Amino acid sequence: MKIKAAVMTEVGKPLSIQQVELSEPKSNEVLVKIKATGVCHSDLNALHDQTTPTPTILGHEGSGIVEAVGSNVTRVKVGDKVALSWVPYCGTCEFCITGAVHLCESAFGPMFEGTLLDGTSRLSQDGKQIYHNSLLSTFAEFAVVPEMSCVKLPDEMPLAQASLIGCGVATGYGAAVNAAGVTPGSTVAVFGIGGVGVNAIQGAHIAGASKIIACDVKPANLEIAKQFGATHTINSAEVDVEAALKELTNGLGVHFAIDCSGHTAAAESAWKSTRKGGTVVLVGAFNPEKTLNIPAGGFHRVGKVLKGSFYGDTQPFRDFPMIAQMYLDGKFKLDELVLNRIELNDINQAFDSFHDCGCINVGRAVIEFND
């Protein structure tokens, strides 16, 4: 079928709205009519990443309606409302069998090679292959995706809000709830208040933390953090964040620190601000040339855990419907994350706004496809 899509033709160039060919889903794949898709900072990173295979169609946070299913598909049926996961796990690899489905072996190759799980593409133009992105490619009217990317949501779930669950929301919420394992009554510091950070705050709030301290350099972002459950804020450009966190925690440091900033200095602060026996979770993607400096002296004596978290250690079929239900019950904020609603034709505006440091960047521009 012919579909309209935003095509990344070259690294760093604006996306181009073009007609492309999408072939039918194979036996374990699903054709999804995309209804909403968030424009994520990772899309901007991919646009400027020399290793991104081109031409490609970006977009990895999406929601839509199942339009057709392959012959072996059993998890969803035509008409189902779905949120998309970019780690369609296999269930049988070394990582899946130990419960770490977010680290599934089978998804990682195709994720970076720009194909679906079988190593091939369903996207083309004039007979020339177009690469997929994150196994989804949601900046298009339709997408063929793996069955295991399709997570059914309640019919009453609004689609723009649903589109955000599968990336920043799951990553932040999961960092607090799954990776850190925030406990009731505990103290939590979240470094880096963006689309992921506010969801780490929401997760900590839902898990019952008593103090949730947002740390960032942008006053506007710290204000927004309060809406999502932060009880305290620290502007780390103005005060000594480690001293301030100790002061808020009887001199002991926080139980849990979660770095969503991707800055090594913030991650090192997170480590120093955590009490003995505490847990530090690093979610942000660091510059690969940087090194994290954690003092070796006394490491064994403090008994702390330092942990990386990918995709919020998410179990999509458990976590996505749970987040949707909490939203429908008024216990999880998603409306506030939909900053503006745009059409696919205006997608480059959303990319441009990432460069506007003055604009609010807690949340997303969401592209909607109306009938």
Place of tokens 């009887």: 250
Q: Are 91 and 100 in contact (CB under 8 A)?
A: no
> Residue 195 or 253: which CB sits closer to Zn ion?
195
Query: Least Å distance between CB 297 and Zn ion?
Result: 38
How far apart CA 208 and CA 255 sit, in angstroms, is: 13
Stretch touching Zn ion by CB under 5 A, among 90-98, 178-186, 246-254, 312-320: 90-98
Q: Could you tell me the sign of the dihedral formed by the alpha carbons of 199, 263, 362, 62, in that order?
A: negative
Q: How far is CA 272 from CA 125, 186, 205, 291, 297, in A?
A: 53, 17, 23, 16, 13
How far is the C-alpha of 119 from the C-alpha of 128, rounded, in Å?
16
| Residue of 42, 178, 199, 361 that binds Zn ion (CB under 5 A) | 42
Figure out which of the listed residues 40, 160, 198, 280 binds Zn ion, where binding follows CB under 5 A. 40
Does 93 engage in binding with Zn ion (CB under 5 A)? Answer: yes
**Of 113-121, 161-169, 241-249, 348-356, which part binds Zn ion (CB under 5 A)?**
161-169
> Which amino acid is located at 28 in the chain?
N
44 binds Zn ion (CB under 5 A): no
| One of 96, 159, 169, 189 touching Zn ion (CB under 5 A) | 96
CA dist 129 → 122, 136, 323 (Å): 8, 15, 36
CB of 106 vs Zn ion, minimal distance in Å: 5
Query: Which one, 104 or 334, has the nearer CB to Zn ion?
Result: 104
Q: Under the criterion CB under 5 A, does residue 153 sit at the interface with Zn ion?
A: no
> Which residues 103-122 are close enough to bind Zn ion by CB under 5 A?
104
Reported as type and span, the H/E element at residue 245 is helix 241-247
Hey, which residues does 152 pair with through a beta bridge?
Answer: 82
User: Which residues, listed in sequence order, are joined to residue 63 by a DSSP beta bridge?
Assistant: 36, 83
State the CB neighbour count (10 A cutoff) for residue 300: 7
The reply on whether position 85 binds Zn ion by CB under 5 A is no
C-alpha closest to that of 163 among 31, 63, 66: 63
Among 17, 65, 90, 326, binds Zn ion (CB under 5 A): 90
Near Zn ion by CB under 5 A, which window of 76-84, 86-94, 153-161, 181-189? Answer: 86-94
Total binding residues toward Zn ion, as defined by CB under 5 A: 8
Q: CB nearer to Zn ion: give 8 or 96.
A: 96
Should residue 167 be labelled a site residue for Zn ion when binding is judged by CB under 5 A?
A: yes
H-helix or E-strand spanning residue 205: helix 197-206
Q: Is 38 or 158 the residue whose CB approaches Zn ion more closely?
A: 38
Residues 304-323 that bind Zn ion (CB under 5 A): none
Of the pair 253, 262, the CB lying nearest Zn ion is at: 262
**Binding range to Zn ion, per CB under 5 A, among 35-43, 66-74, 136-144, 204-212:** 35-43
171: nearest Cα among 263, 284, 60, 329: 284
> Could you tell me the CA-to-CA distances from 200 to 184, 192, 214 in Å, in that order?
15, 10, 10
CB of 39 to Zn ion, least distance (A): 9
Q: Which residues bind Zn ion (CB under 5 A)?
A: 40, 42, 89-90, 93, 96, 104, 167
